Amino acid sequence: DTEVTQTPKHLVMGMTNKKSLKCEQHMGHRAMYWYKQKAKKPPELMFVYSYEKLSINESVPSRFSPECPNSSLLNLHLHALQPEDSALYLCASSLRGGNNVDEQYFGPGTRLTVT
Amino acid sequence: RKEVEQDPGPFNVPEGATVAFNCTYSNSASQSFFWYRQDCRKEPKLLMSVYSSGNEDGRFTAQLNRASQYISLLIRDSKLSDSATYLCVVTGDSSYKLIFGSGTRLLVRP
């Protein structure tokens, strides 16, 4: 079963709010990813966790704060976002971490609107 | 030059047609290659990995030409359900990082 789940499916938040996006996989994958996707554009990588440690931050603003509580869970904490941060936020996972190359499996995403 | 380039389409084909997409990539050090499909407002779904020897999965055939740095996807006997955006994906300098093309849109009409 190649299933990655994400909650919530939709989120509307004001610029002063704090919210969190959640991602979960039970496939034993050791790498997890956050992507941002704007309409009619391909996904853009934000963060990579490998073996529960943050290995890559693609110069993402600090108003986005990732967290990996355990090997199955990945959170993205949001604070003081801007309207231009409105997008589809996708979580993905892959079997191995480190420099291994594996297929990435995506969750259904959270559609975020910042008002 | 974009790292991964695809014809945006749309490719508008009748059911039963054969359609081919090409994709070129700029980084000769890329090691892994994939095709994903993405339906409107949905997540990308892995369609197939692309191997040096080429691979086939039912109606779908993928080919890799490392010398010319392009990847192809052939869809035979197109179905209405094949209508989607097809994303060509390669690994970048860091193998964990996927570089996505902008996608090729396919519309299959009855």
pLDDT in tens, A60-96: 999 999 999 999 999 999 999 999 999 999 999 999 8
Q: Give the one of B31, B49, B103 whose C-beta lies nearest to A42's C-beta.
A: B103
Sign, Cα dihedral of B91, A104, A50, A100: negative
Q: How far is B18 from chain A (nearest CA, A)?
A: 25
Q: What pLDDT is attached to residue B51? A: 85
Which residues, in sequence order, are CB contacts of B58 under 8 Å at separation 6+? none
Residue of B7, B17, B9 lying closest to B108 (CA atoms): B17
Q: How confident is the model at residue B66 (pLDDT cuts 50, 70, 90)?
A: very high
B35: nearest CA in chain A?
A: A103
Distance CA B102, CA B110 (A): 26
pLDDT in tens, A3-35: 999 999 999 999 999 999 999 999 999 999 999
SS3 string of chain B? CCCEEECCCCEEEECCCCEEEEEEECCCCCCCEEEEEECCCCCEEEEEEECCCCEEECCEEEEEECCCCEEEEEECCCCHHHCEEEEEEEECCCCCCEEECCCEEEEEEC
Task: Name every chain B residue with its beta carbon within 8 A of the beta carbon of A41.
Answer: 102
